[in-house]
Amino acid sequence: MSRKPYIRPVPKTSWYMKYMKHDRYKRYMLREVTCIFIGIYTAIIVLGLYNLSEGQESFDLFMATLRTPGALVFHLFALSFAFYHSATWFNVTPQAMPLMKGDDFVSGSLIIRVHYAAWAAVSLVILFVVGA
Amino acid sequence: MARSHKPIIWGPFAAGGTLAALIMPVLIFVTGVAVPLGILPPESLSYHRAVAFAGTWLGKLILFVFVSLPAWHAAHRARITVHDLGVRLDNIVALVVYGLAATLTITAVVALLRI
């Protein structure tokens, strides 16, 4: 190749300052930061398991901490971001794992709907097991 | 052709992302909102009930999977995002985020084995 293709320069570190005015980049970043909330919540569960292994006193103290306003606010934020993760994750499943049936692709909306149905079913089972 | 280690990282990322998408909203709602606010009775997450659940091998396995896969997913997404934001220290970032995920996983295993 003798011709040099034009490569539009994109700044390595400050591209988001320039592009963040576009909604798609905002949505992308919003999706990516869901991992912070999922990571912290996972750490909270591990902390709970550790306290559970320490005995009743530790575990009751842990559960009392979850009732503090700060913990509640965090969990409400985490809940919204977890919902956002679920929706964005399931909405791209047709692209992430396209399914062939015979010569045709299975319709994307069907794949998405099956995932949402599974999400609802799993949530109801967990609610039932905990609440029963 | 050089072998890529990407599938090893991608497999748990995809599995963890799917598992997190399925379970995280309801888990956060139950442990972080419903029980603390009394929407669900406090006995539903009492010490005795939690020990009874985590005391069985099935309970331990479920809790181990519920912790380790989402932790790995979050770590991998954090690594990619940090790269996207222009930090070009991938080896260090990978070490930190995967190290955190591994620490959470190991702590969970140790705690579960003690219950």
Residue-level pLDDT at B1:
47
Q: Are residues A23 and A71 in the same domain?
A: yes
Q: Are residues A58 and A101 in the same domain?
A: no
Q: Are residues A31 and A60 in the same domain?
A: yes
In a domain, A1, yes or no: no
Q: Are residues A42 and A68 in the same domain?
A: yes
CATH number of the domain to which A60 belongs: 1.20.1300.10
For residue B62, the distance in angstroms to the closest alpha carbon of chain A comes to: 12
State the residue for tokens 């940090």.
B82
| Host domain of residue A48 | 13-83
Residue from A35, A75, A83, A114 to probe the interface with B (highest B Cβ count within 10 Å): A35
Q: Are residues A48 and A109 in the same domain?
A: no
CATH number of the domain to which B49 belongs: 1.20.1300.10
Q: Which residues of A touch B27 (CB under 8 A)?
A: 41, 45, 126
Domain count, chain B: 1
Q: Which residues of B touch A10 (CB under 8 A)?
A: none
| Host domain of residue B64 | 12-114
Residue-level pLDDT at A7:
86
In a domain, A102, yes or no: yes
- Please tell me which of the candidates B22, B33, B112 has its beta carbon nearest to residue A75: B33
What tens digit of pLDDT does each residue of A15-47 get?
Answer: 877 778 889 888 999 999 999 999 999 999 999
Residue-level pLDDT at A12:
76
ipTM value greater than 0.85? yes
Q: Are residues A64 and A35 in the same domain?
A: yes
Q: Are residues A71 and A108 in the same domain?
A: no
A120 lies within 8 A of chain B by CB: no
Q: Which residues of A touch B44 (CB under 8 A)?
A: 130-131
Interface of B with A in 54-113 (CB under 8 A): 54, 63, 66-67, 70-71, 73-75, 77-78, 80-81, 84-88, 100-101, 104, 107-108, 110-112
Kind and range of the H or E run holding B108: helix B90-114
What tens digit of pLDDT does each residue of A94-127 get?
Answer: 988 888 888 888 899 999 999 999 999 999 999 9
Q: Are residues A77 and A111 in the same domain?
A: no
What tens digit of pLDDT does each residue of A57-90 get?
Answer: 999 999 999 999 999 999 999 999 999 999 999 9
What is the mean pLDDT for each group of 10 consecutive residues in chain B (115 residues)?
68 92 98 97 96 97 97 96 89 96 98 96
In a domain, B5, yes or no: no
In terms of C-beta density within 10 A (0-12 exposed, 13-18 middle, 19 or more buried), how is residue B102 classed? middle
Residue-level pLDDT at B15:
93
Q: Are residues A79 and A56 in the same domain?
A: yes
In a domain, B2, yes or no: no
